[in-house]
């Protein structure tokens, strides 16, 4: 039996202490370990951890969002922290953190989390910074497009001015960006032994990653969709994401749902005239509707 998951988006200015603790726990248990090059006081091979107050200090703002994946029982098993900005060229969603619980990997959760952020949107661009080839592949799977360093380089000035100037740890970071490579010096010394798949072509496409740096991948709307392997899985998960979102909405306050009663009555009336089913007639009589 395939395990069912629930997806949710929480605004940064709605971040609670309880959710901060959950986010910190998942990150600290599953993000990864420090590399042999990490400077003191951190220890090579030690678990990379993040405190709950870091989430509140950095991301408890209206432009940030948290995309969450939970089990049916409510346990948090995946999270994507991202900034959503309106720019001179349209909206951009940029992911600054993506973590999936170690026990739930290779189930499409990362791709589904990213797709829950933007769906089939008309954003100008979607991006991520990461040292994990799997995370790059999740971004490409969610957008159905492949990152191209040369295309990123075309928009370098725009990205620096309108996106990275708004992200604290990327404001002054040095880039290495050309037609062949795309990475950024975040001074984040992660052990990449288990996050660069031997079958992945990400290093060949984005450049071999120096220690302490992370790949920068930005996908643009004007790129033609070519990565369609994940399409069926994304479609299957999309209906679940939409259903979850509708269940959480306060329906009575939604402008588009104010006429729901009239719409339902009209549908029932049409159904009875079309099929004459007794069940439809009973419903109509109970609601005192004339056909």
- Mean pLDDT for 171-183 is 95
Distant-in-sequence, close-in-space partners of 109: CB < 8 Å, separation ≥ 6: 5, 69, 77, 78, 100
Average pLDDT over residues 164-182: 94
In a domain, 291, yes or no: no
Cβ(209)–Cβ(215) under 8 Å?
A: yes
Contact 30, 91 (CB under 8 A): no
Q: What is the pLDDT of residues 20-42, one digit of tens each?
A: 999 999 999 999 999 999 999 99
3 state SS of 277? coil
> Does 190 share its domain with 221?
yes
At residue 70's C-alpha, the angle toward residues 68 and 75, to 5°, is: 120
pLDDT for residue 245 is more than 50: no
Looking at the fold, whether 229 and 184 belong to one and the same domain comes out as: yes
- 220 and 270 in one domain? no
Beta-bridged to residue 7, according to DSSP, are 69
pLDDT at 243 over 50: no
For residues 158-169, average pLDDT: 94
d(C-alpha 191, C-alpha 182), whole Å = 19
Higher pLDDT, 257 or 61: 61
Which helix (H) or strand (E) segment is 68 a member of? strand 64-71
Q: Is residue 11 part of a domain?
A: yes
Confidence category of residue 246, pLDDT binned at 50, 70, 90: very low
The predicted structure's pLDDT at residue 280: 56
Domain that holds residue 230: 5-248
214-220 vs 125-130, strand pairing mode:
antiparallel
Helical H segments across 195-249, by residue range: 202-206, 231-248
Same domain, 201 and 272: no
CATH number of the domain at 175, please: 3.40.630.30
- Residues 180 and 260 grouped into a single domain: no
Task: Report yes or no on 65 lying in a domain.
Answer: yes
- Place 46 in a pLDDT band, splitting at 50, 70 and 90: very high
- Note whether 231 and 119 are same-domain residues: yes
58 and 143 share one domain: yes
Count the domains in the chain. 2
Cα separation, 122 vs 46, whole angstroms: 41
Q: pLDDT by residue (tens digit) across 93-151?
A: 999 999 999 999 988 899 889 988 887 678 999 999 999 999 999 999 888 899 999 99
Q: Would you say how long the chain is, in residues?
A: 291
Asked if 164 and 28 sit in the same domain, the reply is yes
Instruction: Identify the pLDDT of residue 267.
Output: 65
177 in helix, strand or coil?
Answer: strand
Examine the domain organization and report whether 186 and 270 are in the same domain.
no
Answer yes or no: do 79 and 161 share one domain. Answer: yes
Q: What is the largest CA-CA distance in the chain?
A: 78
Number of H helices, E strands in the chain: 10, 8
Q: What is the mean pLDDT of residues 52-56?
A: 96
Rounded to whole angstroms, the Cα distance separating 173 from 178 reads: 16
User: pTM here?
Assistant: 0.77
**241, 235 contact by CB (below 8 A):** no
């Amino acid at each position: 039996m395939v395990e069912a998951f629930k997806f949710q988006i929480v605004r940064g200015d709605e971040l609670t202490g309880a959710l901060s603790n959950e986010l910190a726990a998942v990150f600290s248990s599953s993000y990864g370990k420090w590399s042999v090059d990490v400077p003191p006081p951190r220890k090579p091979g030690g678990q990379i951890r993040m405190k709950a107050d870091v989430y509140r200090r950095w991301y408890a703002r209206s432009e940030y969002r948290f995309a969450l994946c939970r089990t049916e029982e409510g346990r948090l098993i995946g999270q994507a922290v991202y900034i959503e900005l309106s720019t001179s060229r349209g909206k951009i969603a940029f992911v600054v953190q993506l973590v999936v619980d170690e026990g739930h990997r290779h189930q499409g959760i990362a791709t589904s989390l990213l797709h829950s952020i933007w769906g089939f949107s008309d954003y100008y661009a979607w991006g991520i910074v990461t040292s994990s080839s799997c995370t790059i592949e999740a971004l490409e799977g969610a957008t159905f497009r492949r990152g191209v360093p040369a295309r990123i380089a075309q928009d370098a000035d725009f990205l620096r001015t309108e996106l990275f100037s708004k992200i604290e740890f990327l404001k002054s970071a040095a880039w290495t960006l050309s037609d062949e490579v795309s990475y950024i010096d975040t001074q984040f010394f992660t052990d990449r032994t288990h996050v660069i798949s031997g079958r992945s072509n990400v290093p060949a496409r984005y450049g071999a990653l120096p220690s302490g740096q992370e790949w920068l991948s930005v996908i643009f709307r004007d790129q033609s969709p070519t990565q369609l392997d994940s399409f069926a899985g994304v479609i299957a998960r999309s209906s679940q994401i939409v259903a979850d979102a509708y269940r959480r909405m306060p329906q009575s306050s939604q402008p588009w749902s104010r006429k729901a009663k009239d719409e339902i009555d009209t549908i029932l009336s049409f159904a009875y005239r079309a099929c004459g089913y007794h069940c439809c007639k009973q419903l109509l009589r109970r609601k005192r509707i004339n056909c």
